[in-house]
Amino acid sequence: MQHFSMAVIPGDGIGPEVTNEALKMIKMVEELHGGIKFYSEHFEWGCDYYLKSGRMMPENGLEILKDFDVLLFGAVGAKTVPDYISVWELILPIRQKFQQYVNLRPIKLLRGLESPLRYKNHEDLDFVVIRENTEGEYFNSGGRVHEGTPYELAMQNSVFTRFGTERILNYAFTLAEKRKKNLAVATKSNAINFTMPFWDELVKEISGNYPGVQTRLYHIDALAAYFVSRPEEFDVVVGSNLFGDILTDLGAAIVGGLGISPSGNINPERAYPSMFEPIHGSAPDIAGKGIANPIASIWSVGLMMDHLGHNHIGKLIVDSIEAVLVDGKIRTPDLGGTATTVEMGEAIISKMAQLAVGHHL
């Protein structure tokens, strides 16, 4: 029997609603496989916890999490707490302190879904965005002075280290080597004239170690446009923290919306736990209605299985999601249907049980 420990942080808004469905998927994986067991512990951290305690997580929160094999995260954010607090005191410390420097986000048009890009099909929309996840523009450095006066000013520093940049680029090049050997790099070295030329130089330097990979630099603004006009060009895309964040919401939009797209916050060295979560936020506009799409959260479990070395289970999860979408009967409102979160989740989970027949997991 293989045992994994998993910390579950459902968070705010639709976070707990979609995480419930992801947990059912994990149960189903245990049942179908028979030799894997998840020992899970739940943590009710988030904005409600903040309102009671003045903190998003306990002071020793990271200490508590650090020995788990994996973390399953829902979403953070509520109207009652400023976003810069909820994000900076829960999700960003986990990503940064646990060196989850790879934020891996598949952009893949699943069968059964239509892209708003009418002329593109499934083969055209299948790439992975690798977002730097520990530094860059989301770095806790800056300040404000002369508040409330006409001289007021705010500064936020972007920080790019050689160490941080090299390790994310190496990860992206290695992944490109395993896929179609085609790496697109987001930059903006024409206007951001210190950090981005540094980034470009390191791309050039490192590309020498991966002679088989075709590398191309794109300015971020053009790259955003190409995601829409010629997505078939892309296989692996790598970007800084901010660029990767924006590109992947756009990526999600061209393959069916935020309700679909999963992510892994990965520490490749496995010195710390990696964390899996939908890319969407807490969606306060639909929270509590039971209609959030659980696909992104369930697919995140698929990425978790890949990370744990069970790629065939990861694939089976994606196949099950696709099969339900191809059937087309059960869809949440974001996909034009009327199904609830639970109906959608359960359809995928029972499809998985059907598809697993005859598979050796």
Binding site for Mg ion (CB under 5 A): 245
Q: 182 CB contacts (<8 Å, ≥6 apart)?
A: 176, 213, 214, 233, 234, 235, 236
Q: How far is the CB of 126 from Mg ion (least distance, A)?
A: 21
Identify whether the C-beta of residue 314 lies closer than 8 Å to the C-beta of residue 305: yes
What is the secondary structure of 126-186 as a DSSP string? EEEEEEE-SSBTS-S-EEEESTTSTT-EEEE--B--HHHHHHHHHHHHHHHHHTTSEEEEE
Q: How far is the CB of 280 from ligand NAI (least distance, A)?
A: 3
Burial class of residue 305 in the structure, from the number of CB atoms within 10 Å of its CB (0-12 exposed, 13-18 middle, 19+ buried):
buried
- Helices 295-307, 15-33: inter-axial angle, 10-degree rounding: 50
Identify whether the C-beta of residue 77 lies closer than 8 Å to the C-beta of residue 281: yes
| Residue 75 binding: pick among Mg ion, ligand NAI, none (C-beta 5-8 Å cut-off by kind) | ligand NAI
Q: How far is the CB of 98 from ligand NAI (least distance, A)?
A: 15
Q: For ligand NAI, which is the closer residue by CB, 184 or 275?
A: 275
| Residue 164 binding: pick among Mg ion, ligand NAI, none (C-beta 5-8 Å cut-off by kind) | none
Q: How far is the CB of 12 from ligand NAI (least distance, A)?
A: 7
Q: For ligand NAI, which is the closer residue by CB, 49 or 199?
A: 49
64: left (phi over 0), alpha (psi -120 to 50) or beta: alpha
Applying CB under 6 A, which residues contact ligand NAI? Answer: 14, 18, 75-77, 83, 87, 91, 258-259, 277, 280-286, 292-293, 296, 334
Q: For ligand NAI, which is the closer residue by CB, 80 or 311?
A: 80
Q: For ligand NAI, which is the closer residue by CB, 215 or 297?
A: 297
Q: 12 CB contacts (<8 Å, ≥6 apart)?
A: 46, 47, 48, 74, 75, 76, 77, 78, 86, 282, 287
| Residue 245 binding: pick among ligand NAI, Mg ion, none (C-beta 5-8 Å cut-off by kind) | Mg ion
Q: How far is the CB of 17 from ligand NAI (least distance, A)?
A: 8
Cα distance between residue 265 and residue 168, in whole Å: 12
Q: For Mg ion, which is the closer residue by CB, 278 or 294?
A: 278
| Residue 303 binding: pick among Mg ion, ligand NAI, none (C-beta 5-8 Å cut-off by kind) | none
Q: How far is the CB of 163 from ligand NAI (least distance, A)?
A: 25
Query: Which residue has 């010195």 as its token pair?
Result: 271
User: Which residue has its beta carbon closest to Mg ion?
Assistant: 245
| Residue 259 binding: pick among Mg ion, ligand NAI, none (C-beta 5-8 Å cut-off by kind) | ligand NAI
Chain-centroid distance, C-alpha 157: 24
Phi first, then psi: what are they for 331, rounded to 5°? -145, 140
122, two tokens: 């499934």
| Residue 135 binding: pick among Mg ion, ligand NAI, none (C-beta 5-8 Å cut-off by kind) | none
What is the secondary structure of 6-41 as a DSSP string? EEEEEESTTHHHHHHHHHHHHHHHHHHHSSEEEEEE
| Residue 21 binding: pick among ligand NAI, Mg ion, none (C-beta 5-8 Å cut-off by kind) | none
Q: For ligand NAI, which is the closer residue by CB, 75 or 203?
A: 75
Q: For Mg ion, which is the closer residue by CB, 159 or 246?
A: 246
What are the Cα distances from residue 191, in Å, to 77, 83, 196? Answer: 32, 28, 8
Q: How far is the CB of 319 from ligand NAI (least distance, A)?
A: 20
Cα distance between residue 31 and residue 125, in whole Å: 33
Nearest to 230 by CA among 263, 278, 182: 182
Q: For ligand NAI, which is the closer residue by CB, 48 or 124?
A: 48
Q: How far is the CB of 242 from Mg ion (least distance, A)?
A: 10
Q: How far is the CB of 89 from ligand NAI (least distance, A)?
A: 12
Q: For ligand NAI, which is the closer residue by CB, 8 or 203?
A: 8
